[in-house]
Structure 1
Amino acid sequence: MIALSLAEIAEVVGGQTYDIPDPSVQVTGQVVRDSREVEPGSLFVAFAGEHVDGHDFAAAVVEAGAVAVLASRPVGVPAVVVDDVQRALGALARHVVQKLGATLVALTGSAGKTSTKDLIAQVLRHKAPTVYTPGSLNNEIGLPLTALSATEETRFLVLEMGARGIGHIRYLSELTPPQIGLVINVGTAHIGEFGGREQIAQAKGELVEALPSEADGGVAILNADDPLVRAMATRTKAKVIFFGESGEADVRAENVRLTDRGQPAFRLHTPSGASDVTMRLYGEHHVSNALAAAAVAHELGMSANEIATALSEAGSLSRWRMEVTERPDGVTIVNDAYNANPESMRAALRALAAMGKASQAQGGRTWAVLGKMAELGDEALAEHDAVGRLAVRLNVGKLVAVGGREASWLQLGAYNEGSWGEESVHVSDAQAAVDLLRSELRPGDVVLVKASRSVGLERVAQALLPGAAEGEVSAR
């Protein structure tokens, strides 16, 4: 974080200082909520959670080098005490962002937010120091903590914004007001909470409504291939840039194809020129993510050649997103188990099918180890059934549906589509899936593992990696 005195912090958050002999002492380290991340000069934010109360660690974090604690009650060590720690954290983030003068890029969408954010960050780092959301810390706590990690050298701040209801993105945009706002897509993730895609679009569009006008430098970057996103152009006074494969898009892709390894390649077109891209990531769905990143980079002054070079070099910065590991015995494990919704599940299956073409020619098989997609409400049965059917249509060799009711719907969809023999199976849990795979995998096989985060299927992928113990799968 940029250096701030405890007196300034107390004024910004509307707090009272306790046990602080010298309010001019500065916070020069990171603002953290995990006591294990404290370093000399840190500010520790004490949240009272359901199972752990951060206030209980106050003495330990100060001993470890924290300058003070942001708390909701006096804790016997230097502290700034406020009524609401979460809102105080947000107020501090807004203050720091305003002082920084960095260009703030915010993005949201139903699927692909984290992968797109990682691409934007890697491209912009070619131009200037960039800070970005780690992993998927995109809520009212993770977002301000990311903003507060910026320093005086930071020129670009890339923030992922998630939403579970109307008003969430509006609130996040007030904490960290963006100059550039990107909406990737509107899908069915969390549709059970929102009630429908139109409500999801309403929530995601709050980002473009929060942007400055075009005259004040605001830019809305919208997916031309998604009608609900394209319609958001009427909800903003910012300059509008479209990306997509549509010929009408300002930033678009032509000649899209997949390499023998399932990695996308295409001709990138921007208003400043065109250049060829061959990505290191897997799956055609990354083309849209790359175009979104290219549109941001173009607006920030990068040439088509610079963008194409950066996209071709970019990898995955966040774990368990199409994380590909090739074992010494020729088996390939694709760990995409961080989360799942119908759109990302379909994209992952298509990527698996593309990756498996080369292996199938050598006798290898494709395996889809799939579990529950959460928060789909009344659409859950139909969506799980559709994913099971798609696995068959894509000629995935083996479907292993893991878990309870929703997994049975996956397997039933595959059965009804024509998977009648041993091509699909329903197993009870991660351990059963691992036992099956360990006994049947052979050289050349490609295994995709994917489900919603709550299922914890990353344990399956980890148990199959080189060096993993042959015993039981670890509990979550």
Structure 2
Amino acid sequence: MIPLPLARIAEITSGALAGMADPRAVVRGPVVTDSRAVEPGSLFVAIKGERVDGHDFAAQAVAAGAVAVLASRPVDAPAVIVGDTVAAMTGLATAVCAALPATTVIGLTGSAGKTTTKDLLARLTARIGPTVATAGSFNNEIGHPLTVLKSGEDTRYLVLELGARNAGHIAHLTRVAPPRIGVVLNVGTAHLGVFGGKEEIARAKGELVEALPAEGVAVLNADDPLVAAMAGRTGARVTWYGRGEGAAVRAENVTVDERGRASFTLRTPSGAAPVGLRLYGEHAVENALAAAAAAYELGLPVATIAEELSEAEPRSRWRMEVTDRADGVTVINDAYNANPDSMRAAFGTLDALAGDRRRFAVIAALRELGDESAALNEELGRLAGGAGLTGLFVVGPDADPVLAGAEAAVQAGREGGGRVPVGSAAYAGAGGPPGDGAAGPPGTGRAARPSPVAAFGETSGAGGGAPVATAVSHAADAAQAGAELSALLAPGDVVLIKGPRASGLERVAAALLGGDRR
């Protein structure tokens, strides 16, 4: 953060100094909302949450080195008292960004892949100048200004992931840090229930390109019609990326290795270079192309872009983290979040990585899908049931549509015979779905299912063996799923873990990896 005396912070935020605050004391950053993250020179922003009130930690923050507290009521510490601490922090971030005219702001949004693309782009911009980027997925009305406030006078690039949970959110974030380059990845079904339809989601995502100046650049996915249509909503120049020949920055000759990692030729208007991604899943190609197109607009040579993309490792936790245990079990931890589109991508990665090995999946019902929730969750179950799994665990509440879809796919596959591609509503498992005809526990509405351990008692053993029985199981929580799955795994098996953030499926990965949450 640029150094600011408390008197200036009070002026920007329309606040009043209190608690013996010295108006000449200088805040040099960081600005934090967690008292445990305080460093000497910090400004601690006290936010009252549902369970914790930051004001209760004001004295602790100052004792740890904070210059003062941005508070909405008097505290036992030097403070700047404001009406709303989040609004005041946002105003402070807006003022700091305006004081950095040499900093290029790059905004990035989309229904899926935002964090991975942001991490790739931040790596690329760091090759040509000091870069500040969103940490993890801190892309909302609190995380966004916190990221902006990390910028200093030497910051050349500010790479910001922009999230939207309703119309107007992205427009608000772009007013805090006006972007010169805007990247839109895709329009999917994440938060479908909040927005009401994909067209409404596209309208919200397009607020980013509407915020661009005439001299700016909109980097748009040519392969997504709803994104492509955003070209008409901006006065900025448009550059296209994608797989088709009409894209200025595109991927040619895409191949995927036995570990699910893609390689391709990166083609740009000024030449081409080979890329071999270390990221897992073919969907990472689109993320890499988006980052490459923005970096190309900044003047990076194609060879440099390809080199950086090829060396990039996952930066943000619980996103396609692939870990091989000592016994050969492979765990794909993609538990950070999920929506219908990212679920399809994850099962595609599992299919590519697992090959002929036994495969398991731990998933949970998707959320925020509105009136489409039951249908889309049943579709998720069919996806999982047709993915050639030896076993499927569906974790947590609202699992009925997922279980119904999975069992329908298993039954269809049993009747049809033969392996089917990922995503088909059929599965070639021997034997019928466990629990046929049995009475379920009171109030569940489901047929009782046998213990997963019992269901797997007749499998052929170590990885690669064809299952005799296919288990589709419901687990009350991640702890149950982790314990039961641990008892089933044999050397060489592959496990996919993916679900909404609130389902806490990262705990399954921790159980399988001996407590390593990465």
Q: Please state which band the TM-score falls in when normalised by the shorter chain.
A: over 0.9
- For residues 179-223 of structure 1, the C-alpha deviation after alignment (integer angstroms, 9 at most, x for no partner) is 111111110000001100011011110011011112xxx111111
| Stretch of structure 1 that moved more, 124-133 or 347-356 | 124-133
| Deviation of the 1:392 alpha carbon | 4.1
1:66-85 pair list within 5 angstroms: 66-85=66-85
Aligned equivalent of 1:412: 404
Provide the rounded CA distance (Å) in 1 between the counterparts of 2:70 and 2:479: 42
Aligned equivalent of 1:23: 23
Aligned equivalent of 2:416: none
1:171 aligns with 2:164: no
Aligned equivalent of 2:444: none
Provide the rounded CA distance (Å) in 1 between the counterparts of 2:186 and 2:382: 24
Aligned equivalent of 1:317: 315
Provide the rounded CA distance (Å) in 1 between the counterparts of 2:392 and 2:347: 11
Aligned equivalent of 1:267: 265
| Stretch of structure 1 that moved more, 160-169 or 430-439 | 430-439
Aligned equivalent of 1:436: 484
Provide the rounded CA distance (Å) in 2 between the counterparts of 1:29 and 1:87: 18
* Aligned residues of 1:123 and 1:314 also touching (Cα < 8 A): no
| Deviation of the 1:235 alpha carbon | 0.3
| Stretch of structure 1 that moved more, 11-20 or 107-116 | 11-20
| Stretch of structure 1 that moved more, 333-342 or 270-279 | 270-279
* Aligned residues of 1:331 and 1:446 also touching (Cα < 8 A): yes
Aligned equivalent of 2:279: 281
Which structure: larger Rg?
2
The gaps in structure 1 that reach 5 residues or longer are 469-473
1:381 aligns with 2:374: yes
* Aligned residues of 1:327 and 1:466 also touching (Cα < 8 A): no
| Stretch of structure 1 that moved more, 333-342 or 47-56 | 47-56
Aligned equivalent of 2:337: 339
Aligned equivalent of 1:455: 503
1:63 aligns with 2:63: yes
- For residues 108-159 of structure 1, the C-alpha deviation after alignment (integer angstroms, 9 at most, x for no partner) is 1111111111111122222221111111111011000011112222211111
Matching residue's letter, 1:456: G
| Deviation of the 1:411 alpha carbon | 2.7
| Deviation of the 1:265 alpha carbon | 0.7
Aligned equivalent of 1:365: 358
Provide the rounded CA distance (Å) in 2 between the counterparts of 1:199 and 1:50: 29
Matching residue's letter, 1:48: K
Residue 281 of structure 1 aligns to a residue whose secondary structure is strand
| Stretch of structure 1 that moved more, 15-24 or 37-46 | 15-24
- Residues 245 and 57 of structure 1: is their aligned pair in 2 closer, same or farther, counting only changes over 3 Å? same
| Stretch of structure 1 that moved more, 342-351 or 154-163 | 154-163
Pick aligned residue for 1:445 from 475, 484, 493: 493
* Aligned residues of 1:411 and 1:424 also touching (Cα < 8 A): no
- For residues 441-462 of structure 1, the C-alpha deviation after alignment (integer angstroms, 9 at most, x for no partner) is 1111110001101111111111
Aligned equivalent of 1:143: 144
Provide the rounded CA distance (Å) in 1 between the counterparts of 2:118 and 2:8: 32
* Aligned residues of 2:118 and 2:133 also touching (Cα < 8 A): yes
Aligned equivalent of 2:88: 88
Aligned equivalent of 2:129: 128
Matching residue's letter, 1:61: A
| Deviation of the 1:440 alpha carbon | 1.4
* Aligned residues of 1:408 and 1:426 also touching (Cα < 8 A): no
Matching residue's letter, 2:393: V
1:251 aligns with 2:275: no
Aligned equivalent of 2:13: 13
Aligned equivalent of 1:111: 112
| Deviation of the 1:81 alpha carbon | 1.3
Aligned equivalent of 2:437: none
| Deviation of the 1:76 alpha carbon | 3.5
Provide the rounded CA distance (Å) in 2 between the counterparts of 1:140 and 1:21: 27
Residue 248 of structure 1 aligns to a residue whose secondary structure is coil
TM-score by length of 2: 0.86
Matching residue's letter, 2:106: V
Aligned equivalent of 1:305: 303
Aligned equivalent of 2:458: none
| Deviation of the 1:368 alpha carbon | 1.5
- Residues 15 and 467 of structure 1: is their aligned pair in 2 closer, same or farther, counting only changes over 3 Å? closer
| Deviation of the 1:415 alpha carbon | 2.1
Residue 239 of structure 2 aligns to a residue whose secondary structure is strand
Matching residue's letter, 2:193: G
- For residues 385-444 of structure 1, the C-alpha deviation after alignment (integer angstroms, 9 at most, x for no partner) is 222222344433432222233x33223222222244433412222233223221211111
Provide the rounded CA distance (Å) in 2 between the counterparts of 1:388 and 1:351: 17
Residue 459 of structure 1 aligns to a residue whose secondary structure is helix
Provide the rounded CA distance (Å) in 2 between the counterparts of 1:39 and 1:342: 41
Residue 280 of structure 1 aligns to a residue whose secondary structure is strand
The sequence identity of aligned pairs, in percent, is 57
| Deviation of the 1:171 alpha carbon | 0.6
- For residues 61-97 of structure 1, the C-alpha deviation after alignment (integer angstroms, 9 at most, x for no partner) is 1111110111112224221111121111111111111
| Deviation of the 1:55 alpha carbon | 1.3
Provide the rounded CA distance (Å) in 1 between the counterparts of 2:250 and 2:387: 27
Aligned equivalent of 2:201: 200
| Stretch of structure 1 that moved more, 133-142 or 414-423 | 414-423
- Residues 5 and 450 of structure 1: is their aligned pair in 2 closer, same or farther, counting only changes over 3 Å? same
* Aligned residues of 1:414 and 1:424 also touching (Cα < 8 A): no
Number of equivalenced pairs: 460
Provide the rounded CA distance (Å) in 1 between the counterparts of 2:122 and 2:487: 41
| Deviation of the 1:24 alpha carbon | 2.0
The gaps in structure 2 that reach 5 residues or longer are 414-426, 434-468
TM-score by length of 1: 0.94
